[in-house]
Each structure stands twice: as C-alpha cells, then as structure tokens.
C-alpha cells in the first residue's frame, strides 16, 4: 500500500507538470498516459484492498507512548454523574477474559487494558505465555488459530478453578473487541447469576437455538460456566473433545446440550447491543455487499443504517488499537454541551421485550439499494 501511495504521488506530480507544458496539443495525450497508469495500478491491486479515504495509515504504526486520561476533577468531568454506573459496578460483578496470544501482548492486549478493560471487575488475558503486566495466563495449549476452541475450553476451566467466586458473570472477548461495560451490566441486572443463560450477537446456523459470535463477545452467567465446565467438558457426547474448530460454534453446541439458553440481548426497539463487525459496516447502507456472510448468519431481523444498533451498544468488533482510543475518547469524554442524559434504572427483573421491526428482514438489502 505504501508503494501504491508513492506511485499515486508520482502520478499527481506528473499531472502538475503537464499543466505547465507549453504545447497544449500534447497535453491531452500526456494526461491520457497518466490516467492509464493510474487505472493499471488499481486493476493490479490485490482483491479486497481497502482504499477508503477515511483510513488512517498511522494506525499501521505501533503505539509506543502512554495515551493518558482526563482527571475526574477536570472542569467538564465534574459535571458528570456516575452514581448509577458505580451502583451497577458493585451490584453486577463481571469478570472479563480476553483471548489473545504472545504476539499481541504489546500490539493489542495492553491497549484493551488501558481502555475499556479497566472497567471490568476482574480482567484476565488468556494466552500461552505468562505476562504479569497484563496479567496474561499461559494456558496449556498450542498457540495456533486452529486451536482456538482448545484455548477457550482451557480458559473457562482456568476461570472456574481460580476465579469462579470473584464474579457473577463471565465475559469473553477478543483483543480486537471494544466493550462498554456499563451497558453490559445494564443488560445483565435483569437476570440472576443462577439463570442458565448467555448473551451475545446471535447467529443462526449450526446450532438449533443459535449461538453467539465469538468476535462480538459473549457473556455467561455463573450457572452457565458451572454447567459448561462440570457437565459439558467432561462428556464427549455433549462437548467436542478435540481442540480444533470454531470456538463460538462449539461452545454454543456445548451450552445447548447442558440446558443453557441463548438469550436475546437486543434492546426494547429490537436493535443490536452486540456487534460482530465494525460499526460502520452496519451503520452505512451498502458497506457490505449482498454476498457478505453476515446476511445468512444473523438470527434476528436486522436493519442497516441507524436502526442497526442500540444506543446502549455493548460491543464492537474489529477494532484496532488506534480505534480503541478513538472510541474511548468519543464515548467517555466527548460531551455536547447543554445536552443532558438522566437515566433511571427500571424496576429490577422487568425485562424490556424487543419490538420486531416490520420491514426488517433477511432481504432488506434491496431496500437500501433502491430496488
């Protein structure tokens, strides 16, 4: 990509030189040559190359300095009322474990810790090498993408053995996921840790009741973790013994086999709170082609555009370290002056039932294409 940019700059300089050329009759010919060079370069780019004008090429560079934070005593932060979030932090205890690897401790994991990870009641990174600074746990599995299912089984076994009594809910996320923990606790407060249930962005294939996207993150109740570790894992008829396979599909099968329900995490308007993709993929109509795998995977009716996502969004996937800090800033620091938000906690246990949108359907793509 860097070579392509240099090539583009070269062509731009050529165009400027052509404009200064003293023989107007030659200008169209030379301009045609330059256009041909640009078109050829675009044609020969690998399929799928992202040429978005909004892409930040600085994001390809490693973050080496500490970003820092605003003080709670800053002028605008003194106007912020955090009493409800503090209440939920104490009432709904969530352990977060992050799926990572030794190659990503510095590149990704430490930035999760510096941003949204700090709002977990307990934060652990599951790897194959110890790293006390995170902290990361060395799980007894081979570090390989084909072993993610084995790594997930080992991670939940570790959590059950060492941290089962530290939390009510157990949230799994990837090291390229961003999570708003306040919104997760808001969802979970209507349920009990003793409920055999788990939440995430629900996919429909492979598992009868559906399963939750791994990249979008999923959260298990205390009872669900217990059933998974003590009933599912020891039984090869209920849980795959081999370490290969898609971790989200496999855990979905195991949980279904031990009576753990796939919960509906959408808000009262039927909008998604967990996202298995980056936000712009579903916010911008047409960002994903009709052939994209997402359209055959989502369990519930889904609209693209602003109707896609809840105002109480919980997770966003495919977030590189630069965007982790961008989201952190936009969510926790940007405050339009004069607009106040005064939420009230509804009576506990009164679940808000999502409203099905009449026009939301699996073929809603056509509406956004103007068909």
Q: How far apart are CA 70 and CA 338, in angstroms?
A: 20
Split at pLDDT 50, 70, 90, the class of 75 is low
Strand order in the sheet with 122-127: 136-138, 122-127, 94-99, 169-174, 218-221, 197-200, 261-262
pLDDT, tens digit (0-9, with 9 covering 90-100), for 340-369: 788 888 877 666 666 544 334 333 334 434
Mean pLDDT for all residues in the chain: 84
Axis-axis angle for helices 247-257, 148-163 (nearest 10): 50
Report the CATH architecture of 82-335+351-366. Alpha-Beta Complex (3.90)
Q: Which residues contact 211 (CB under 8 A, 6 or more apart)?
A: 202, 203, 248, 249, 251, 252, 253, 256, 262
Structure tokens at 312: 């109480």
pTM equals: 0.79
Q: Are 125 and 137 in contact (CB under 8 A)?
A: yes
Write the CA distances from 362 to 200, 287, 304, 307, integer angstroms: 19, 16, 11, 14
Sorted by where each begins, the domain ranges of the chain are: 82-335+351-366
DSSP-based helix, strand, coil % in the chain, nearest 5 = 40, 10, 50
- Average pLDDT on 317-323 reads 96
């Amino acid at each position: 990509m860097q070579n392509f940019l240099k090539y583009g700059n070269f062509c731009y300089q050529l165009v400027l030189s052509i404009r200064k050329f003293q023989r107007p009759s030659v200008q169209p010919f030379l301009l045609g040559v330059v256009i041909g060079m640009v078109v050829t370069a675009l044609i020969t780019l690998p399929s799928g190359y992202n040429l978005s004008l909004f892409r930040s090429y600085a994001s390809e560079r490693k973050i080496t300095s500490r970003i820092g934070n605003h003080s709670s005593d800053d002028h605008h932060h003194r106007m912020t009322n955090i009493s409800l979030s503090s209440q939920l932090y104490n009432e709904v205890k969530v352990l977060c474990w992050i799926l990572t690897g030794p190659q990503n401790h510095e590149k990704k994991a430490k930035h999760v810790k510096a941003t949204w990870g700090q709002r977990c009641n307990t934060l652990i990174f599951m790897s194959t090498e110890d790293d006390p600074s995170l902290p990361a746990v060395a799980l007894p599995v081979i570090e390989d993408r084909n072993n993610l299912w084995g790594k997930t089984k080992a991670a939940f076994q570790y959590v059950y053995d060492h941290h089962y009594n530290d939390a009510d809910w157990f949230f799994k996320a990837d090291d390229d996921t961003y999570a708003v923990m306040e919104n997760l606790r808001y969802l979970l407060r209507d349920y009990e840790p003793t409920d055999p249930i788990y939440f995430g962005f629900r996919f429909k294939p492979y598992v009868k009741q559906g399963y939750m996207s791994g990249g979008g993150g999923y959260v298990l109740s205390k009872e669900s973790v217990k059933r998974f570790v003590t009933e599912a894992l020891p039984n090869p008829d209920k849980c795959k013994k081999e370490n290969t396979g898609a971790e989200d599909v496999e855990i979905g099968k195991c949980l279904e086999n031990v009576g753990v329900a796939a919960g509906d995490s959408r808000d009262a308007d039927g909008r998604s709170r967990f996202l298995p993709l980056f936000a712009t993929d579903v916010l911008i109509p047409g960002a994903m082609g009709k052939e994209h795998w997402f359209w055959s995977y989502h369990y519930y009716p889904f609209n693209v555009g602003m109707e896609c996502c809840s105002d109480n969004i919980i997770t966003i996937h495919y977030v590189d370290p630069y965007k982790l800090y961008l989201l952190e800033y936009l969510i926790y620091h940007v405050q339009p002056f004069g607009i106040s938000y005064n939420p009230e906690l509804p009576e506990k246990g009164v679940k808000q039932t999502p409203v099905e949108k009449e026009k939301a359907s699996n073929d809603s793509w056509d509406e956004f294409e103007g068909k």
